[in-house]
Amino acid sequence: MKRAARLIIFYAALFGVWTLLAELKIWPPYLFPTPWGVAQALYSGFQDHTFVIAIAVSLRRVLIGYAISVVLGMLLGLGVGSSKFLEETMGGLLVSLQSLPSICWWPLALLWFGLSQNAILFVVVMGSLLSVTLAMEDGRKQMPRIYGMAGRNLGASGFQLFWYVLLPASLPFIISGLKQGWAFAWRSLITAEMLYLSLGLGQVLMMGRDLNDMSAVIAVMILIIAIGYVVDGLVFKSMESRLQRRWGLISST
């Protein structure tokens, strides 16, 4: 209750200062919109379905891209985490590649895939793949060896062993990496969309810039933040707490 009150006060103050600055008209409204203007932009964006379509398109892309990098990253990470040879050779490369912003792959992606959806997916995958890979590699090492042995002992091998034992056993160790991968995937997607007229939230944001409509730009920014936050809060937080409850890392009451 106290926390809620503090939050309300904080956001009320934030909006108060924003409104005040906007109402003082130091800058013209097209440079510094009022909260009211942003709210209107949000409303009309949903009204004419621009935002609905953009959100649907962006979410579809990020889900496909993220799914690809989770699958690839887990396999890659499992390989690097299980093999001394791969770790010594590929390990360093993976870590150094992580310092490369994924949008740097954009020119290559354009050449390889053309000006298409696939080029965007490629950038998304390159953005999140490494986080997942490194997390899985780490998880594979941190995971107690006993689970793998117990699994083999009970007749699991190959894919079964991975799917039913190694993957669930490493989940508590890789969930933060999965979360980070998601954040990178989302950011990479918006960046790529901003460079390419392709529906999607990134393009709607750039449209706002082209029309000098800063209310719309801020409205889209709010949407991007909100979606990132909701996925983090709904998907990852609940996954994390379910894991912790199952594993007995926190009390179940």
Partner 1 sequence: MSTNAQNFASRPLPVPIDPTRVGTPRGKAGRSVAVHPLRGQAFETPKVALTDICLSYRTQSGQRMLALDHINLQVKTGEFLCIVGPSGCGKSTLLHLIAGLHQQTSGQVLVDGKRIAGPGTDRILIFQELGLFPWLTVGDNVQFGMKMKGIAKAEREEKTRYYLRLVHLLQFKDSYIHQLSGGMRQRVALARALATEPDVLLMDEPFAALDAQTRDLLHDELERIWEETGRTIIFVTHNVREAIRLGDRVALLTFRPGRVKREFTVDLPRPRVLEDPSVARAAGEILGQLREEINRSLEVEYHVGTKPHIEIEKEAQL
Question: Is residue 150 within the footprint of partner 1 (CB under 8 A)?
Answer: yes
Rounded Cα–Cα distance for residues 98 and 138 (Å):
15
Q: Under a CB-based contact definition with an 8 Å cutoff, are residues 177 and 236 in contact?
A: no
The full length of the chain comes to: 253
Q: How far is CA 182 from the centre of its chain?
A: 3
Residues 74, 165, 205, 223: which binds partner 1 (CB under 8 A)? 165
Q: How far is CA 90 from the centre of its chain?
A: 25
Piece of 16-24, 28-36, 64-72, 240-248 that binds partner 1 (CB under 8 A): 240-248
Structure token pair of residue 24: 């003082």
Question: Is residue 153 within the footprint of partner 1 (CB under 8 A)?
Answer: yes
**Rounded to the nearest whole angstrom, what is the least distance from the CB of residue 29 to partner 1 in the complex?**
55
Piece of 2-10, 51-59, 210-218, 243-251 that binds partner 1 (CB under 8 A): 243-251
Question: Is residue 230 within the footprint of partner 1 (CB under 8 A)?
Answer: no
At a CB cut-off of 8 Å and minimum separation 6, what does 125 contact? 65, 68, 69, 72, 185
Question: Is residue 152 within the footprint of partner 1 (CB under 8 A)?
Answer: yes
Nearer to partner 1, 99 or 153 (CB): 153
Which residue from 144, 141, 149, 157 is spatially nearest to 79, judged by alpha carbons? 141
Q: Under a CB-based contact definition with an 8 Å cutoff, are residues 236 and 179 in contact?
A: yes
**Rounded to the nearest whole angstrom, what is the least distance from the CB of residue 171 to partner 1 in the complex?**
7
Piece of 34-42, 82-90, 226-234, 242-250 that binds partner 1 (CB under 8 A): 242-250
Which residues contact partner 1 by CB under 8 A? 146-147, 149-150, 152-157, 160, 164-165, 168-169, 171, 243, 245-248, 252
